[in-house]
């Protein structure tokens, strides 16, 4: 088992999975929060954009989104995502960034919908009291509503992050050498030890996702708002 892990650089591949997950998680939390803000905003145009975006990206297969970043953004439009074109790793870096972009565009919709359901758990009176004190819509959202909404959706957000971790495997489709890319090679060349190969990857992902669930489960309990 360990000889396989070493031979195929499994640890490097999982490190790439972790990096993809990490960056996509941060960005989709930010973008998802902004989308949620749009969806509850009093401005009709913002609401419409938020709704359209979420329905479009949430209902499109992730593979399609990732392949689209590669084919449309990279091949057709020549987007470089601020990667250095002189660098010999140019395409590796570009594909990595495109994968993060695609994962973020997709995952943010689930973050948005989780947060929006969290916003619905905050009693209307909280926002009314804040408005009555003279806070602006943005302040009410940022200082009063979102902090309480976040606290009630840590559990659902953990599920979204776990799904994201596993969804990074789709990045193989655009040539990012994360865990699933190596898996494909190993299935091909180590067919006599196929059970071991699968076990390595199943374990690898459990090791990545289990702490997310456990830690965020604790966090959820700790930050819960008492009413």
Partner 1 sequence: MTAATPAPPMIRMEGVDKFFGDLHVLKDINIEVPAGQVVVVLGPSGSGKSTLCRAINRLEPINQGVIEVDGKPLPAEGKALAGLRADVGMVFQQFNLFAHKTIADNVALAPVKVRKMNKGEARQHAMGLLERVGITDQAEKYPAQLSGGQQQRAAIARALAMKPKVMLFDEPTSALDPEMVQEVLDVMTNLAKEGMTMLVVTHEMGFARRAANRVVFMSDGEIVEDSTPDVFFTAPKSDRAKDFLGKILTH
Structural tokens at position 152: 């009630």
135 belongs to the binding site for partner 1 (CB under 8 A): yes
CB contact at 8 A, 35 and 53: yes
Rounded-to-integer distance, Cα 58 and Cα 167, Å: 13
222 belongs to the binding site for partner 1 (CB under 8 A): no
Residue span binding partner 1 (CB under 8 A) among the ranges 32-40, 82-90, 129-137, 185-193: 129-137
Structural tokens at position 63: 């593979």
Nearer to partner 1, 188 or 227 (CB): 227
Nearer to partner 1, 42 or 78 (CB): 42
Which of 45, 82, 191, 227 forms a contact with partner 1 (CB under 8 A)? Answer: 227
Beta carbon of residue 212, minimum distance to partner 1 (angstroms, whole number): 24
CB contact at 8 A, 179 and 17: yes
Helix then strand then coil, % of the chain, to nearest 5: 85, 0, 15
Residue span binding partner 1 (CB under 8 A) among the ranges 95-103, 127-135, 168-176, 199-207: 127-135
Which of 44, 85, 134, 191 forms a contact with partner 1 (CB under 8 A)? Answer: 134
Question: In the window 66-125, what residues touch partner 1 (CB under 8 A)?
Answer: 123, 125
Neighbours of 29 (CB within 10 A): 19
Which of 19, 47, 58, 131 forms a contact with partner 1 (CB under 8 A)? Answer: 131
139 belongs to the binding site for partner 1 (CB under 8 A): yes
182 belongs to the binding site for partner 1 (CB under 8 A): no
Rounded-to-integer distance, Cα 227 and Cα 209, Å: 31
**What is the chain's Cα-based Rg?**
20
- Contact residues for 39 (Cβ-Cβ < 8 A; gap 6+): 47, 50, 51, 54, 112, 116
Which of 30, 48, 72, 129 forms a contact with partner 1 (CB under 8 A)? Answer: 129
Neighbours of 187 (CB within 10 A): 13
Which of 60, 80, 126, 159 forms a contact with partner 1 (CB under 8 A)? Answer: 126
């Amino acid at each position: 088992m360990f000889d396989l892990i070493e031979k195929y650089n499994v640890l490097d591949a999982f490190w790439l999975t972790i990096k993809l997950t990490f960056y996509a998680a941060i960005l989709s939390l930010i973008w998802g929060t902004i989308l949620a803000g749009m969806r509850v905003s009093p401005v009709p145009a913002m609401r419409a954009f938020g709704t359209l975006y979420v329905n479009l990206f949430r209902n499109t297969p992730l593979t399609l989104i990732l392949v689209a970043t590669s084919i449309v953004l990279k091949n057709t439009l020549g987007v470089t995502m601020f990667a250095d074109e002189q660098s010999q790793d140019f395409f590796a870096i570009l594909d990595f960034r495109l994968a993060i972009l695609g994962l973020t565009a997709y995952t943010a919709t689930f973050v948005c919908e989780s947060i929006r359901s969290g916003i619905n758990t905050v009693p209307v009176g909280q926002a009314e009291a804040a408005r009555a004190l003279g806070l602006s819509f943005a302040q009410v959202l940022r200082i009063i509503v979102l902090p309480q909404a976040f606290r009630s959706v840590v559990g659902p957000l953990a599920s979204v992050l776990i799904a994201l971790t596993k969804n990074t495997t789709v990045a193989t489709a655009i040539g990012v050498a994360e865990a699933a890319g190596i898996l494909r090679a190993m299935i091909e060349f180590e067919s006599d030890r196929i059970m071991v190969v699968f076990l390595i990857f199943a374990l690898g992902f459990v090791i990545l996702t289990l702490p997310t669930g456990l830690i965020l489960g604790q966090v959820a309990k700790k930050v819960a708002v008492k009413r």
